Each structure stands twice: as C-alpha cells, then as structure tokens.
C-alpha cells in the first residue's frame, strides 16, 4: 500500500484565476453603474463651490474697480483689465483654468441675473454641456 500514489483532486491555479476573474466581472457589472453615478454626483457637488470661488473673485473685482464686469466683458475682466478701469484693476483675480466647471466647460457670466434678480448669475451647463437638461444634467447656478 505504501508504494501506491494517491491522486488528489484539486483546482489548478488557472481554474482559480478564471473563477476569480468571472466573479470580478460580475461585480463590476453590478457595482459599476452605481460607481459612475457617484462620480457624476461628486462633480455636481463640486460645481457649487467652484461657482462660489468665481463669485468671490467677482466681488473682489467690484471692490477694486467700483463696478461688476458688464455683459460684453464677462469673466475675461477677471483675467485682463478692461480699458476704462486699468488703473483700479488689481488682478488677475483668477487663473483661466479656474473659469472652467468640473466638466471642463466654461462657466457662464450673465450680467443681468435671471435667477439672482438685481445681480448677476454664474452658470455651469452641467454634465451635458447644453442649456437646460434634466436627470442630473440640469444647469447649476450660483446662489
């Protein structure tokens, strides 16, 4: 009996790796959409503070120059001094990259506020990058 070798039945390394890979792919299919939705929501949550940061720069511009940028100047007035107030301008108030929303689209400046009546609006067009939108693609405005 000692001379006989017994064969043990077990999984090979390749079989284990294939099973682990299949389980990983199934997990990715189930959890993947939830993960992408969390990432999408994180960008939406980041948009408001980014608009507030730009709003602070506009307020500093107004303190220094005695007025807000007009519609023709837009947010460029935070980067380049307007001709009529060069001596008062103490900018640049932001970097050009800070005028982009979390989706790398330009933040819009609306001198005559549509949402903030009597003031100005800052607007991010959201994930879809177009006016309007729904289901997480809505436009985001400053408060």
Query: In this structure, are residues 47 and 124 in contact, taking their beta carbons and an 8 Å threshold?
Result: yes
Architecture of domain 41-141: 2-Layer Sandwich (3.30)
Half-sphere exposure of 91 (CA within 13 A, CB side): 26
The Cα 49–Cα 53 span in angstroms is 6
- Going by C-alpha positions, the residue among 63, 66, 91, 65 that lies closest to residue 76 is 91
In the block, tokens 């107030």 appear at 85
Neighbour tally for 74: CB within 10 Å = 17
**pLDDT at residue 59, rounded to an integer:** 92
Predicted TM-score (pTM) of the model is 0.70
pLDDT digits (tens, 9 = 90+) for 12-53: 888 889 999 999 988 888 877 777 788 888 888 888 999 999
Q: What φ, ψ does residue 45 adopt, rounded to 5°?
A: -65, -30
Q: What φ, ψ does residue 71 adopt, rounded to 5°?
A: -60, -35
The list of the chain residues with pLDDT below 50 reads none
**pLDDT at residue 94, rounded to an integer:** 92
Residue ranges per domain, the chain?
41-141
């Amino acid at each position: 009996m000692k001379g006989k070798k017994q064969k043990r039945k077990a999984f090979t390394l390749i079989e284990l790796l294939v099973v682990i890979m299949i389980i990983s792919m199934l997990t990715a299919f189930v959890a993947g959409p939830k993960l992408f939705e969390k990432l999408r929501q994180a960008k939406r949550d980041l948009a408001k503070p980014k608009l507030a940061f730009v709003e602070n720069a506009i307020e500093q511009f107004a303190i220094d120059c005695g007025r807000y940028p007009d519609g023709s100047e837009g947010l460029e007035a935070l980067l380049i001094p307007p001709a009529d107030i060069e001596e008062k301008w103490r900018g640049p108030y932001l970097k050009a990259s800070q005028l982009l929303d979390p989706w790398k689209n330009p933040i819009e400046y609306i001198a005559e506020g549509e949402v903030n009546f009597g003031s100005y609006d800052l607007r991010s067009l959201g994930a879809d990058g177009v006016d309007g939108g729904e289901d997480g693609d809505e436009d985001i405005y400053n408060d």
